[in-house]
Structure 1
Amino acid sequence: MANNPGAKKAIRKIARRTEVNKARRSRMRTFIRKFEEALAAGDAAVAKTAFVEAQSELMRAVGKGVLHKNTGSRKVSRLAAQLKKLAVA
């Protein structure tokens, strides 16, 4: 347990940051889910717009420090591959 004022303040800061990051992660997952639902429906036009939004949201999460840069790039790449597979089919 924290005993000195600095440690107590750090605990408060971490709690606030955790809440913010949780909201950002949830928002990111929502956009990814919308893209996956468009893929499942087989609608290429909707999937394309959902992909652009999901890509933007993933890179925003990278910029905010929620995801590592390589993780964000990997996720975008995999989503793009799924979109490409839908377009070919």
Structure 2
Amino acid sequence: MANTPQSKKRARQNQTRFAVNKARRSRIRTYLRKVEEAIASGDKDAAANALRAAQPELMRGVTKGVLHKNTVSRKLSRLSARVKALA
């Protein structure tokens, strides 16, 4: 348990940051799920639009420190290849 005033404050800040990051991660997963569903349905236009909407959200996750830059790069690359492969 936190004893000093500084450690109590850090514990409060960590709780707040955890909640913010959790919401941000959940939002990113929702965008990714929409892209996956569009790909699964086989609708190339819907998949392309969903991917276009997901890209800024993923990049925001990088700038906010929720995800690593290379992770997002890899995900975007794989998703865009799958969208491109739709006939």
> May I ask how many residue pairs the two structures share in their alignment?
87
- Moved >2 Å (runs of 4+): none
Q: Displacement, 1:31?
A: 0.4
Name the counterpart of 2:24.
Answer: 24
Name the counterpart of 1:58.
Answer: 58
Name the counterpart of 2:11.
Answer: 11
Question: 3-state DSSP class of the match of 1:27?
Answer: helix
Question: 3-state DSSP class of the match of 1:66?
Answer: coil
Distance 2:59 2:28 in 1: 9
Distance 1:52 1:66 in 2: 20
Name the counterpart of 2:38.
Answer: 38
Task: Give CA deviations for 1:3-57 in whole Å, capped at 9, x if unaligned.
Answer: 1010010000000000000000000000000011101110000000001111121
Distance 1:27 1:46 in 2: 19
Gaps in structure 1 of 5+ consecutive residues:
none
Distance 2:73 2:83 in 1: 15
* Identical positions, percent: 61
Q: Displacement, 1:84?
A: 1.6
Q: Displacement, 1:64?
A: 1.1
TM-score by length of 1: 0.93
Q: Which amino acid aligns with 2:14?
A: I
RMSD: 0.8
